[in-house]
Amino acid sequence: MILESGIPSGPLQEKWSRYKESMKLVSPANKRKHTVIVVGSGLAGASAAATLGELGYKVKCFCIQDSPRRAHSIAAQGGINANKNYPYDGDSTYRLFYDTIKGGDYRSREGNVYRLAELSGAIIDQCVAQGVPFAREYGGELGNRSFGGAQVSRTFYARGQTGQQLLLGAYGALNRQIEAGHVTMYSRREMLDLVVVDGKARGIISRNLVTGELEKFAGHAVLLCTGGYGRAFFLSTNAFNSNGTAAWRAHKRGALFANPCYVQIHPTCIPASGDYQSKLTLMSESLRNDGRVWVPREIEDAKAVQEGRKKAKDITPDRRWYYLEEKYPSFGNLVPRDVASRNAKLVCDQGLGVNPTGRAVYLDFEDAIKRDGKDGVADKYGNLFDMYAKITGENPYEMPMKIYPAIHYTMGGLWVDYNLMTTVPGLFALGEANFSDHGANRLGASALMQGLADGYFVAPHTVGNYLANSNFLAAELKTPITEEHPQFDKVMGEVQAEITATLEAGKNGTKSVIDIYRELGDAMYDYVGMERTEEGLKKVLTIFPKLMADLKENARVPQDTDFNKYLEMTARIKDFIELGELMARDALDRKESCGGHFRAESQTPEGEAKRDDENFTYAAAWEWKGEGTPHELHKEALVFENVKLTQRSYK
């Protein structure tokens, strides 16, 4: 299989505008005759559904929650990047493009990333018009703050609730189209399979999570906006309901899965405190603007802190190691996430951690409070400080926060071309569900940017171009493809058979699905986490078959056919085990370090990620070959015409 990215020719700055001018259009009268299925209602899904509805298409939008406003995009805190250059500190479209390419360790496409940077300003205009309450300066101008991997202030924010406010804006636009009759909303639905007819995506099979009923939905195109697969690690900053099932089932129907080993570990999260936890809590990267990261310089001080004999205030400044500021003086505490996370692990591995488990570092606001006052700090981060205090019982105004890295985001996803279309014609993947923009590491505040760029400004053009070129209306004038097509019954029968088999096998199970899920998470963190080795990856590949056998033979599944969380989880965990195995194979195959993928065998003398551009400057796209058969690897060469490949340095 030859992977064609479809990136237009011509100057980088003109690719997107020229391409839009060459696209075919669907007339207003014909748009209402086309049905587009949008799976997911977070920022990518809600913005895409609202925009396609506004254009006149018939849209069916699905969400796993009881309301679109509960989508996990709501949990994003710190901000959204855009190249407005309001602080007049030298930002530009090219600088945002370059920072994103460099932050991703030169493992993303130039064309896609430049388009993202180019559209970023329009996103802010759109959201302001919707009434999103971005922070403003005293004179009324929109405020900006800094995020990791950049030396300019380009991040727009709404205190620590940016994702929530952006989602409410998209939700309002979506509701307007629901009221207008252009969008039909289906809540509490989980997509369980993709229906492919004549080689094209033509619909989905979903399960009503309340009644248990399987349902068929037909359309002319399907958009997957279902987020990432970070929950394969069990503990992550993602909501417990977040899962990779929709993307994985589409993968089994022919959509290649790209760069699955690229996983982001966020450096500022509240450390795990017990086995009872089902998720971890993110503390926004924006806190690193004013918070200083440190650990005790001496091992005896660290042990005293771990054992409760000393507190942070007992460690004098000369005995504190501000390791990011010392190692990376140009960027300090605002190095990219992969760099900050690896360094936190490194100092904790040296025994310098500051909680009883030895797995935490300090994030200290003492200097910021002295400089700006408590009220000044509270104006910026008050809700984040309140959340930290409620969860930990400690007052971050009086003592440093304790933080540690956690799984947060997945840069890998379904392979898509410049149109955001997968290798299954008519199946598009938007936002975190695709692989296209962030390479091996995503910069902070870029996820919201990508989701809204894809939904508001890219997919509405490229989906229309696909529909116009497919000419469905003429081809199906006499016999349109609907839910009554035999392929829908065939796929639904396969889904039902799998559900029946899961219930039957779980009738006499003796083990909780959650216990198996935790075992999977432990294996993923141990061998496919922040540091990977050839030995560890080969070992974990022997663990996955045992976990799968345990799940199939011993998992206890209640027999309810309607509302049944354990039935849902069993199916998702099966997908996670298969996906975890692919992540490990991809990590084993990529014998280099880049961004969030750190192979211990490939590092510089200073312990930084060492790329191998000669052998690995490509996107790895894996093809499903059937259960029990190894995936087949396809490579899309990454071509750099505007950026010179160099060893990343933030020093």
Active-site residue set: 337
Residue type, 125: D
Q: Supply the Cα-derived Rg of the chain in whole angstroms.
A: 24
CB 264 within 8 A of CB 442: yes
Please list the helix, strand and coil fractions of the chain in percent, rounded to the nearest 5, in that order: 45, 15, 40
Q: How far apart are CA 563 and CA 567, in angstroms?
A: 9
Question: 193-232: buried (b, 16+ CB within 10 Å) or exposed (e) per residue?
Answer: bbbbbeebbbbbbbbbbeeeebbbbbbbbbbbbbbbbbbb
Q: How far apart are CA 445 and CA 80, in angstroms?
A: 4
Q: How far apart are CA 127 and CA 301, in angstroms?
A: 48
> φ and ψ at 340, to 5 degrees?
-65, -40
CB 430 within 8 A of CB 455: yes
CB 13 within 8 A of CB 119: no
Closest by CA to 156, choosing from 185, 180, 178, 136, is 136
Distances from the Cα of 401 to the Cαs of 148, 364, 391, in angstroms? Answer: 19, 6, 11
Q: How far apart are CA 210 and CA 18, in angstroms?
A: 47
Place of tokens 């910026």: 380
Question: Which stretch of DSSP H or E encloses residue 267?
Answer: strand 263-269
Degrees, nearest 5: CA angle 207-433-30: 75
Which residues pair with residue 293 across a beta bridge?
Answer: 363
Closest by CA to 594, choosing from 621, 572, 617, is 617
Question: 629-644: buried (b, 16+ CB within 10 Å) or exposed (e) per residue?
Answer: eebeebebebeeeebe
> What tokens appear for 246 in the block?
């929709």
Closest by CA to 606, choosing from 346, 363, 403, 358, is 346
Taking the chain, what is the end-to-end CA distance rounded to the nearest angstrom?
41
Q: How far apart are CA 542 and CA 540, in angstroms?
A: 5
Instruction: Check the CA dihedral 482-483-489-491 and report its sign.
Output: positive
- Provide the greatest CA pair distance for the chain: 81
CA dihedral 211→217→223→225, nearest 10 degrees, is 0
